[in-house]
Structure 1
Amino acid sequence: MTQRTATGRFPAELRQALIAFAMAQFICSFAGSNMNVMITDISQDLGTDVQGVQLTITIFLLVMAALMIPGGKLTDRYGRKRCLVAGLALFGLGALLSAVAPGLGLLIFGNSILEGVGTALLIPPVYILTTLIFTDVASRARAFGAISALGGIGAVAGPLIGGFIATAISWRAAFAFQALIALAIVVLSRRAVRDPLPPEPGRAFDVRGAVLSAAGLFLFVGGILAADDNVWLMLGLMVAGALVLAGFFLSVRAKERAGQEPLLSTSLFRNRTSNLGLITQNAQWLMVMGTSFVVSAYLQVVRGYNAIETGAVFTATTVGLLLSSLGAERFAKRRAARTLIVAGFAITVAGIALLMILVAEVGGVWPFVPGLFVIGLGLGLMLTPSVNVVQSAFGEDRQGEISGLSRSVSNLGSSLGAALAGTILVAGVGDQPGRAYALALTAVGVVGVIGLGAGLLLPRKR
């Protein structure tokens, strides 16, 4: 039974809820990418450097990734709508503190910590409530398509919108913009969003699992960030992170054997289709953030472009993503998710290759445009199918867990993109900027090939 009217539109209440969900995903994705074009402005204003801004961006993305799974579990205990509103309030507070930050420390606290925690609290309810409210498969797919498309647009249009605000007013105004959007979503959510399931206040919460999973991810990604300073420190942190994550999974197994509820059930990893979908999600968002950071930093630090000039270059990515997203529903009716994901990765990798070749051969800003446009086309084609593959692999009773895991894996991809590609670029931008740019994009392209391989292993059925 479809939830759409005879005109093909959702009823007013569902439409308003979907707008709230899509805008929430948009502003969180925007927050992850808009700082890329403000590297020079923030560095000069706060007395820091490219590495300081990269650290702020990466910690924000990493906090989201590390806390997304606990955030998904908390929705069962305290209620999905309540967590959504609380997360938006925390996100808005962090944005306001970032807007008035006198130094890097408060910027990291406001943007990286408070906005990161707020995002981890509000995003799982978006996907859980979408699954619960949009009850038939066709309506749910269309809703996920709208949310994923707005998330992708927020990520790729973040540099353009952020650059415009930073140049027209100030980089601080970009954070005020985030706070205003968060407030508007709170008002809309309180009126339009309903939670079909009651909260379970007595439900157990795995504190030890939450601490171990967060600490393991922080240590591992922190190792990547330390690569430029000390190779032994990098290896030490990454090994320590891997050991802590191994301890987390041992803790999960122990709780399951004791009949207790762990933070994350190991049964989620027994679904081959979902596992492959998670790999594609991680690779996609690594490519989004890796490409965005590398190109933005290169244009500002090496070419000397300001925020609006840098953001304008990313218009090509936004247009490409919009064009492919507009046809997402039609593509989904005609092609299997596997086909769309594989085609998306192939197109995106081709766009990265085009970006490297043209920029190396031709001077000026225009060589960036074709590659970024093709990257946008590829991303818009595959973001929604990957979400559908993962979320649809489990029933409604597992949506809290799989939603948290899915968003955690996606945000881990974003943080790895900023850490990996950013570290490669920052390490060589002073001596051989062209070579560092090429190496950083090559690393992003290799991840795209891995994602392509995972996509090819997905089931062929529609």
Structure 2
Amino acid sequence: MAGRAAEGASGPAPTARRILAPLALAQFICSFAGSNMNVMINDISEDLDTTVQGVQVAITIFLLVMAALMIPGGKLTDTWGRKRCLVAGLLIYGVGAVLSAVAPGLGVLILGNSVLEGVGTALLIPPVYILTTLLFTDTASRARAFGAIMAMGGVGAAAGPLIGGLITSAISWRAAFVFQALVIVVIVLLSRHIDDPLPPDPARPFDTVGAVLSAAGLVLLVTGILAVDDNGWLALGLLLAGALVLAGFFAWVRRRERSGREALLSTDLFRDRTSNLGLVTQNAQWLMLMGVSFTVAAYLQVVRGYDAVETGVIFTAATLGILASSLAAEKLARRRAQRTLIMAGFVVTLVGIAALLVLVARQPGAWAFAPGLLLIGLGLGVMLTPSVNVVQSCFPETQQGEISGLSRSVSNLGSSLGTAVAGTILVAGLTKGAYAVAMAALAVVGLGGLTAAALLPRTGRPRA
């Protein structure tokens, strides 16, 4: 409970900073892991004797495992406790990072990076958002805390190509995973200052069947998207199977609720219109961020022949944009309504995508990417924090485990879909035309997110 006492109008006290530092750093390293491999495509494919599509599959599986297990991970926090889940996730992630660093082939890399790091992330990320919501109770302090966490998450995703590129060029792509393992050690040490504000309930039942159904449905959906390029009929079959499994999951949840048993995910979470619209905006934001990251990184390396560090340097523009706007989250939250910030973020991001299409087509130089990436970074940084705050603040403390798992699952599903959709279009034909089609598809997603944001209530701030 130290975090509650440490809040103040003038800024976070030292105790609050000690609590917030490991939480923000945890979000940073998970976002970093989702994007830093984008600049290692050529290096990994050559070293492990695989293809660009093989590396894309590894990246997508990592994001997919996170999305599929995030809801069960959020639910487990009630049974195991939030801090215990956080530490367990960090340790599993660290083992996966070390295994990836010594991987002799693509299969071991997928086991370490895609599976173990994905499982670890699914366990550690829900506690980050639950603890933040529970420890920072008023709107200003919560906006400040979420602003720091989302800033680190956005910077991790945007700076991943730069940091990964520098490490890859200076040492090896394997050293990037050693870097992740070292950061995990730091987070574990810093997390000693965190006290769980709610006691765990070991007797609380866990819906195993629901967990299997939800994970299987999400896996089938994204796998179907990945299969579009290879076999259209297989892709259609997988997509239909995924939809049927998810329908079965919701039927199972309703049946458990009617019988008075606790389900993996309460249907009450979907009865709040504001939360539902906020979840749509979160999915669209991360889909665009990871989709743009993979598309631009793959195009620069495979089509234009840039190395890892050159590709990473170009992404510095996006990193600066996200950092600048995310760090201003607290001030923006006081001056503008959440709906206004989210809508503005989508508009700026769409302008950035348009700039990437127009300038890249007219200018052969690498710096033609900079204005668009800067605008995308600014736009995403503006809306990441209010979208999370809108969703988390719609529910009481007793439902924070469920909504945190659902929120992070929706966001990570957006990340995996961004890599899958844009990557599938790009890998299908690494040409100038394929790049434009991929970016146009991401723009359509942005328009959908903008529409959802426009439908949010016009109230100044979300319920606390």
Q: TM-score normalised by the shorter chain: which range applies?
A: over 0.9
SS of the counterpart of 2:319?
helix
Residue 24 of structure 2 aligns to which amino acid in structure 1? A
Q: Counterpart in 1 of 2:416?
A: 415
Q: What is the alpha-carbon distance in structure 1 between the residues aligned to residue 307 and residue 239 of structure 2?
A: 35
Q: Counterpart in 2 of 1:442?
A: 440
C-alpha displacement at 1:4, in angstroms?
5.3
- Runs of 4+ aligned residues of structure 1 deviating over 3 Å after TM superposition are 1-7
Q: Counterpart in 1 of 2:404?
A: 403
Kindly indicate whether residue 10 of structure 2 is the aligned counterpart of residue 12 of structure 1.
no
Q: What is the alpha-carbon distance in structure 2 between the residues aligned to residue 355 and residue 91 of structure 1?
A: 34
C-alpha displacement at 1:135, in angstroms?
2.6
Q: What is the alpha-carbon distance in structure 2 between the residues aligned to residue 95 and residue 4 of structure 1?
A: 34
Q: Counterpart in 1 of 2:152?
A: 150
Aligned 8 A contact 1:3 1:134 in 2: no
Q: Counterpart in 1 of 2:319?
A: 318
Q: What is the alpha-carbon distance in structure 1 between the residues aligned to residue 15 and residue 122 of structure 2?
A: 25
Kindly indicate whether residue 33 of structure 2 is the aligned counterpart of residue 31 of structure 1.
yes
Q: What is the alpha-carbon distance in structure 2 between the residues aligned to residue 342 and residue 10 of structure 1?
A: 28
Residue 255 of structure 2 aligns to which amino acid in structure 1? A
Unmatched runs of 5 consecutive residues or more in structure 1: none
Q: What is the alpha-carbon distance in structure 2 between the residues aligned to residue 177 and residue 254 of structure 1?
A: 46
Q: What is the alpha-carbon distance in structure 2 between the residues aligned to residue 2 and residue 208 of structure 1?
A: 37
Question: What does residue range 71-86 of structure 1 map to in structure 2 within 5 Å?
Answer: 71-86=73-88
SS of the counterpart of 1:48?
coil
Q: What is the alpha-carbon distance in structure 2 between the residues aligned to residue 9 and residue 349 of structure 1?
A: 33
Q: Counterpart in 1 of 2:70?
A: 68
SS of the counterpart of 1:185?
helix
Q: 1:350-405, CA deviations, whole angstroms, 9 ceiling, x for partnerless residues?
A: 10011011101111101111111111110111000000000001111110000000
Q: 1:241-283, CA deviations, whole angstroms, 9 ceiling, x for partnerless residues?
A: 0000000000000000000000000110000000000000000
Residues 2 and 336 of structure 1: CA distance in aligned 2, closer, same or farther (over 3 Å): farther
Aligned 8 A contact 2:97 2:117 in 1: yes
Q: 1:144-178, CA deviations, whole angstroms, 9 ceiling, x for partnerless residues?
A: 11111111111111111111111111100000000
Aligned 8 A contact 1:3 1:11 in 2: no
Residues 408 and 2 of structure 1: CA distance in aligned 2, closer, same or farther (over 3 Å): closer
Kindly indicate whether residue 92 of structure 2 is the aligned counterpart of residue 90 of structure 1.
yes
User: Which among 123, 129, 136 is matched to residue 125 of structure 2?
Assistant: 123
Q: What is the alpha-carbon distance in structure 2 between the residues aligned to residue 414 and residue 326 of structure 1?
A: 22
Question: What does residue range 336-355 of structure 1 map to in structure 2 within 5 Å?
Answer: 336-355=337-356
Q: Counterpart in 1 of 2:271?
A: 270
Residue 400 of structure 2 aligns to which amino acid in structure 1? Q
Aligned 8 A contact 2:280 2:452 in 1: yes
Unmatched runs of 5 consecutive residues or more in structure 2: none
C-alpha displacement at 1:321, in angstroms?
1.3
Q: What is the alpha-carbon distance in structure 2 between the residues aligned to residue 65 and residue 5 of structure 1?
A: 32
Question: What does residue range 35-434 of structure 1 map to in structure 2 within 5 Å?
Answer: 35-189=37-191, 191-429=192-430, 433-434=431-432
C-alpha displacement at 1:412, in angstroms?
0.1
Q: Counterpart in 2 of 1:454?
A: 452
Aligned 8 A contact 2:295 2:422 in 1: yes
Q: What is the alpha-carbon distance in structure 2 between the residues aligned to residue 6 and residue 207 of structure 1?
A: 41
C-alpha displacement at 1:2, in angstroms?
8.0
Residue 193 of structure 1 aligns to which amino acid in structure 2? I
C-alpha displacement at 1:34, in angstroms?
0.3
C-alpha displacement at 1:136, in angstroms?
2.5
Aligned 8 A contact 2:352 2:373 in 1: yes
SS of the counterpart of 2:199?
coil
Q: How many pairs were matched up?
A: 458
Q: 1:20-76, CA deviations, whole angstroms, 9 ceiling, x for partnerless residues?
A: 000000000000000000000000000001100000000000000000000001010
Aligned 8 A contact 1:228 1:427 in 2: yes
SS of the counterpart of 1:305?
coil
C-alpha displacement at 1:120, in angstroms?
0.1
Aligned 8 A contact 1:2 1:136 in 2: no
Alignment RMSD (CA, Å): 1.2
SS of the counterpart of 2:366?
coil
Q: What is the alpha-carbon distance in structure 2 between the residues aligned to residue 293 and residue 54 of structure 1?
A: 9
TM-score when scaled to structure 2? 0.97
TM-score when scaled to structure 1? 0.98
Q: What is the alpha-carbon distance in structure 1 between the residues aligned to residue 397 and residue 100 of structure 2?
A: 37
C-alpha displacement at 1:13, in angstroms?
2.2
SS of the counterpart of 1:367?
helix
Aligned 8 A contact 1:274 1:390 in 2: yes
Q: What is the alpha-carbon distance in structure 2 between the residues aligned to residue 292 and residue 303 of structure 1?
A: 16
Aligned 8 A contact 2:147 2:327 in 1: no
C-alpha displacement at 1:3, in angstroms?
4.8
Aligned 8 A contact 1:2 1:138 in 2: no
Residue 356 of structure 1 aligns to which amino acid in structure 2? L
Q: What is the alpha-carbon distance in structure 1 between the residues aligned to residue 5 and residue 337 of structure 2?
A: 23
Aligned 8 A contact 1:324 1:377 in 2: yes
Residues 93 and 357 of structure 1: CA distance in aligned 2, closer, same or farther (over 3 Å): same
Q: What is the alpha-carbon distance in structure 1 between the residues aligned to residue 432 and residue 68 of structure 2?
A: 33
C-alpha displacement at 1:10, in angstroms?
2.2
Residue 262 of structure 1 aligns to which amino acid in structure 2? A
Residue 344 of structure 1 aligns to which amino acid in structure 2? G
